[in-house]
Amino acid sequence: MVTIKDLAKATGYTIATVSRAFNNSSLVADATREKILRTAEEIGYLPNALARGLVNKATSTIGVIVPDITNPYFPVIVKSIQDTIKPHGYNTIVCNTDWIEDTETESAKMLFAHRVAGILMDPLSDRTYSNIYNAGVRVPIVFVGNKTDSNADEASSILIDNFSAAYQATEYLLSLGHERIAFVGGDEDTHVNRNRIGGYISSMQRHVGALDPSLLMKCRYTQEAGYMVASALIRSGRLPTAIVAGNDIIAFGVMQSFHNHGYRIPRDISIIGFDDIEFSSNIGLTTMQEPRSEMGRMAANLLLETIRNAEAHLKLETKNILLDAKLIKRDSCASPS
């Protein structure tokens, strides 16, 4: 393992000069820097990031925590984050929680132990912030995609206006002539779920009056869960004419179930999703599009700004930004027959 000492010996300078050469310090002569850098290549010297992080008390790594990297919703955000921070010299450690709150806390602790400069995360629950704070994690955090309502002034967040988006989705279905509209969405009590359900209920109540509670179904954010709920719905015999799904993955499961049971979409039942993941267009799913790349980019920039301010011992006012979702009309919704 070649260290700074080896490079010092090889060039004839001391480690102090070598270090400066690698840190673009103006305190080394250009000729010296050049010679050092050239020799570094030759002998294969790569600065030890651990030693650097130790003395600098900060790394150029940013932690990213998501619930499920196999849901295409997240990789786009992760990639957008990576693309945004890379030009600033940062890299990422990505963690997967599998929707398990303990894993989320452990991940945050691990990231903090690695002294990441900051954390970007899609929180699992309203307890997330206090969980990781109580675990001793002290590092700038920006939420993306979801947030913890109880700590809105402790950490910034970037997400869509879920209430309004769900309202809009439901309105669209109503405008098509549907009246019996079900909601199949997330079962955890989070900001996103509360607002999507809230928007749905609000729209329904405005147009249909009291809501039939059996139309509100909760499940996990997986295709299997959507499939199960739809199958149960079919077995119950009291089908709605349209469904608002909590996200596209759930919608996929719902569609597959209806398909397997001989129903045709949108002829027999309409469905609208959330997120607009890549494959929704292949399947022709009408959905509320989240600007995920933009969310990732904005969240990353906000975190970078927060980190810079923290280094300068200023505290940046936290921002809770709501973006607009956009209705993407495709082939999964039609007027009831």
Residues at the interface with a second copy (CB under 8 A): 1-2, 44-51, 53-54, 57, 59, 61, 69-70, 72, 75-76, 78-79, 82, 91-96, 109-110, 112-115, 135-138, 223, 252, 255-256, 278-279, 281-283
From candidates 19, 193, 270, 306, binder to DNA by CB under 7 A: 19
CA distance 3 to 274: 51
Q: How far is the CB of 249 from DNA (least distance, A)?
A: 40
114 or 238: CB nearest DNA: 114
Q: Which stretch binds DNA (CB under 7 A): 25-33, 78-86, 97-105, 116-124?
A: 25-33
Q: How far is the CB of 122 from a second copy (least distance, A)?
A: 15
Is there binding between residue 307 and DNA (CB under 7 A)? Answer: no
The two three-digit tokens of residue 225, written as one number: 């869960």
Which of 34, 42, 44, 56 binds DNA (CB under 7 A)? It is: 56
User: Which residue of 10, 15, 94, 239 would you call a contact of DNA, by CB under 7 A?
Assistant: 15
Q: Which residues of 7-36 are buried (b: 16+ CB within 10 A; e: fewer)?
A: bbebbebeeebbbbbbeeeeebeeebbebb
Closer Cβ to a second copy, 44 or 177, answer by number: 44
Distances from the Cα of 12 to the Cα of 5, 6, 9, 37, 145, angstroms: 10, 10, 5, 13, 53
Cβ atoms 238, 249 nearer than 8 A: no
Rule CB under 7 A: is residue 322 a binding residue for DNA? Answer: no
Joined together, the tokens standing for residue 193 give 């779920």
Q: How far is residue 299's CA from residue 274's CA, in Å, rounded to a whole number?
A: 20
Residues in the interface with DNA (CB under 7 A) total: 30
> Is 138 or 235 the residue whose CB approaches DNA more closely?
138
Question: Cβ distance 269 to 242 under 8 Å?
Answer: yes
Closer Cβ to DNA, 90 or 274, answer by number: 90
| Cα first-last separation, the chain | 72
Residues between 57 and 96 with contacts to DNA, criterion CB under 7 A: 57
CB 277 within 8 A of CB 248: yes
Q: Is 51 in the site for DNA (CB under 7 A)?
A: yes
Cβ–Cβ < 8 Å for 167, 188: no
Q: Smallest distance, Å, CB 29 to DNA?
A: 4
Name the strand (E) or helix (H) holding 288: strand 286-289
Nearest distance in Å: CB 15, a second copy: 15
Q: CA torsion, points 244, 250, 255, 258, in degrees to nearest 10?
A: -90
Residue 5 interacts, among a second copy, DNA, none and using kind-specific CB cut-offs from 5 to 8 Å, with DNA
Q: Which chain residues interact with DNA by CB under 7 A?
A: 1, 3-5, 12-17, 19-20, 22-23, 25-30, 32, 45, 47-48, 51-52, 54-57
